[in-house]
């Protein structure tokens, strides 16, 4: 908190310094131009005064306009740079440290999942049933979390992963004879469906972004009571959701 306040005070001080400098430079320049112009016209002879006045104004007005334009350009460029910087930091998650995940997450009531019943073996889940569940939705789901009987999300199957696995075993996605256990037995596909992050209900959006970035191929982060994999999931943050959070 103290470092943030210090940065704000430093930024405010820099702005004040720039403002004073700009006003001083413009004022001194304007006064100097007026004085020099007045002296040039005043010391010119009566015969050449008209020509001298034209020459002075021809030289002075563009110079004054250049000074004013330079100062205005400086301020507008500064504002544009600050706006672009803030926008970039927001997209990167650097300005979201105080935003709770509970404010932006998909609540459990909106989950669409494949749920195993008490005593069910997740390895025995038919991939064709997972595919059917995804296609039954309108529009079809692009990813489907697999939950155990206690509501913990242990895997997330994306349609691209399912399609790639089906091709690897020379079968069609809608008629796969393989099970989730078979898919988990293939290391490259096991890593994809297991690439899930978990954060606690006290976490922030920045925490969720960091957690997602720390896991290879991770596109899903789930919110649990204390951020553990085997806990009941109460919220979900996808990569597309986090990309849209400002």
3-state secondary structure 97-146: CCCEHHHCCEEHHHCCCEECCCCCCHHHCEHHHHHHHHHHCCCCCCEEEE
Q: How far is CA 183 from CA 95, 162, 195, in A?
A: 39, 9, 14
The pLDDT of residue 171: 95
Q: What is the pLDDT of residues 235-245, one digit of tens each?
A: 999 999 998 88
CATH number for the domain whose boundaries are 101-244:
3.10.580.10
Q: Identify the weakest region by mean pLDDT among 32-46, 157-171, 193-207, 212-226.
A: 32-46
Is residue 7 scored above 50 in pLDDT? no
Which residues have C-beta within 8 Å of that of residue 58, sequence separation ≥ 6?
A: none
Q: How far is CA 62 from CA 4, 7, 67, 231, in A?
A: 44, 39, 9, 72
Q: What is the pLDDT of residues 13-47, one digit of tens each?
A: 566 766 776 677 677 777 777 777 777 667 666 66
- Percent of the chain, pLDDT > 90? 55
Could you say which DSSP state residue 154 is in?
E
Say which residue, 25 or 2, is predicted with more confidence.
25
Average pLDDT along the chain: 83
The pLDDT of residue 30: 72
pTM, two decimals, is 0.62
The pLDDT of residue 6: 47
């Amino acid at each position: 908190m103290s470092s943030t306040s210090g940065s704000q005070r430093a930024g405010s001080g820099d702005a004040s310094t720039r403002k004073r400098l700009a006003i001083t430079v413009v004022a001194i320049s304007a006064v100097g131009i007026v004085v020099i112009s007045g002296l040039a016209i005043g010391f010119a002879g009566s015969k050449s005064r008209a020509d001298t006045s034209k020459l002075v104004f021809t030289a002075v007005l563009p110079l004054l306009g250049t000074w004013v334009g330079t100062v205005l350009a400086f301020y507008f460029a500064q504002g544009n740079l600050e706006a672009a910087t803030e926008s970039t930091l927001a997209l990167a998650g650097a300005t979201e440290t105080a935003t709770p995940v509970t404010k932006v997450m998909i609540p459990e009531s909106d989950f669409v999942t494949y749920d195993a019943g008490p005593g069910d073996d997740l390895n025995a889940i038919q991939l064709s049933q997972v595919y059917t569940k995804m296609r039954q939705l309108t529009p079809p789901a692009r990813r489907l979390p697999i939950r155990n009987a206690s509501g913990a999300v242990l895997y997330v199957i994306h349609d691209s992963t399912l399609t790639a696995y089906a091709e690897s075993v020379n079968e069609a996605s809608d008629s796969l004879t393989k099970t989730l256990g078979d898919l988990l037995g293939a290391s490259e596909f096991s890593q994809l469906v297991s690439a899930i992050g978990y954060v606690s209900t006290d976490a922030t959006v920045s925490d969720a972004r960091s957690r997602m970035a720390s896991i290879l191929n991770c596109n899903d982060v789930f919110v649990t009571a204390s951020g553990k994999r085997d806990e009941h999931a109460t919220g979900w943050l996808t990569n597309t959701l986090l990309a849209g959070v400002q």
